[in-house]
Each structure stands twice: as structure tokens, then as C-alpha cells.
Amino acid sequence: MRKNDLSVFKMESEGFKITLKKGNDFQPVIHQAAPVAAPIAAPVAAPAAAPAADAPVANDKLKDIASPMVGTFYASSLPDAPPCVKIGQDVDENTVVCIIEAMKVMNEIKADARGTIAEIVAENGKPVQFGQALFRIVPK
């Protein structure tokens, strides 16, 4: 983990599951990722990451939707599909907001909170780290 600068490592294989976390200043994260069968051939362009002009929101009122794992962020499940969510869209705890590819597995990431998407922080097709903000929402 030191050699590759990893803070979290997860592995699942044939009913065996292990999670390694470096350091002791982490907070538990509830994972609601599920594998997606269809692989992503190529990333699609990410939507603009700006809040809606008609509803500016102070940054201190926003809540982050953080990445539960290290991987590659995709805004949609297929290259030619529309993004899972757009700015201004209402989401709840079960809304799939993006896909993160980790170890050749496509994981659906759910919002885990109720609110309205105010900002898309992650860039489509780019790597994300554990705990990194993917989206910012206005909580409801």
C-alpha cells in the first residue's frame, strides 16, 4: 500500500472479501455499489459542472457525494448513453449517480442522500480517489 500510495484496498473473490485501510483517521463509508454487467467502451463528455443560474447556492450548504473507492469515474453506463444525473436533478438514496470502474468491474454508485445535484465535481473518464467528492448536492 505504501509503494503505490494507497489508503484503501478492497478485494472480493469466490466468497472471500477483504478491505485494508491505512491510517486511523478514516470514517466508515457505507458502500452501495453493485457490479454492472456491461463494460464501458469509451467515456462520454461530462456535463458542464456549474450550478443552475436560476438557483445559486452557497457552498457551505452543499453536501458531497464521495467516491466509495479508487477507480475511473464515468458519468453514464454506456459511451452513447445520457449521464446518470444532471445539474438540477433531484436524487434520493437509491438514485444511481455514476459508474466507477475498479479492477475491471463497473460499480453503480448511489447518491446515499436526498437532494438536488448542484455541481458535478469529477471529470468523466478520469481517475478518482477514495473519499473524493464526485458531486455536490443541496440536501433536502
Q: Which pLDDT belongs to residue 11?
A: 77
Domain ranges of the chain: 30-139
Q: Which pLDDT belongs to residue 110?
A: 94
Go through the chain and tell me how many residues it has. Answer: 140
Cα-flanking dihedrals φ and ψ of residue 59, to 5°?
-60, -30
Higher pLDDT, 79 or 138: 138
C-alpha 96/C-alpha 135 separation (Å) is 12
Q: Tens digit of pLDDT for each residue in 24-81?
A: 544 444 444 444 455 555 555 544 444 444 444 456 689 999 999 999 999 998 888 9
Higher pLDDT, 22 or 34: 22
CATH level 2 (architecture), domain 30-139: Beta Barrel (2.40)
The pTM assigned to this predicted structure is 0.58
If DSSP codes are grouped into helix, strand and coil, which group holds residue 95? coil
Q: Which pLDDT belongs to residue 24?
A: 55
C-alpha 38/C-alpha 81 separation (Å) is 12
Considering just the CA atoms, what is the radius of gyration of the chain in Å?
15
Q: Which pLDDT belongs to residue 56?
A: 46
Least confident residue range of 2-11, 34-43, 125-134: 34-43
Q: Tens digit of pLDDT for each residue in 83-100?
A: 999 999 999 999 999 999
- Asked if 84 and 75 count as a contact pair (C-beta separation under 8 A), the reply is yes
Q: How far is CA 131 from CA 28, 86, 140, in A?
A: 10, 21, 22
